[in-house]
């Protein structure tokens, strides 16, 4: 799970990026259970846009399988786009995703060293 790896950097619109919970507000640990399209998730992150999370994978991963979506507690008027980068090359993009939409499962192409989610 990517959320178990150490982040190189992380930024988002409000407070710290919360791991394995939604982004509740300005304080660490103030989030709730992740819920996307009515489905709960025990692992991942839900930073409010604009956000960027960077991991250095050091060539130890060749594949990423993930579900992306906007947490159900987000405003319906705040759609987001998810993009996965590897070595500064966009490997996959979600298109607009809104609160209440079902999780979107995808497997971007193989990558080498870096992965970003914005």
Q: Give tens-digit pLDDT for 18-69.
A: 888 988 888 888 989 999 999 998 888 888 888 898 988 888 777 888 888 8
- Binned at pLDDT 50, 70 and 90, residue 109 comes out as low
Instruction: State yes or no: pLDDT of 115 exceeds 60.
Output: no
Q: Which CATH class is domain 2-117?
A: mainly beta
Global pTM reads 0.75
Domain spans in the chain, listed from the N-terminal domain onward: 2-117
Token pair for 94: 């979600």
């Amino acid at each position: 799970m990517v959320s178990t790896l150490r982040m190189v950097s992380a930024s988002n619109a409000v407070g710290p990026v919360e791991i394995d919970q939604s982004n509740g507000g300005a304080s660490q640990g103030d989030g709730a259970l992740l819920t996307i399209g009515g489905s709960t998730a025990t692992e991942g992150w839900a930073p409010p846009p604009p956000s960027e999370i960077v991991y250095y994978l050091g060539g130890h991963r060749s594949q990423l399988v993930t579900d992306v979506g906007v947490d159900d507690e987000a405003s319906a008027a705040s759609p987001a786009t998810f993009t996965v980068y590897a070595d500064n090359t966009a490997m996959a993009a979600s298109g607009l995703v809104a609160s209440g939409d079902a999780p979107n499962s995808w497997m971007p192409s193989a990558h080498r060293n870096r992965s970003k989610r914005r």
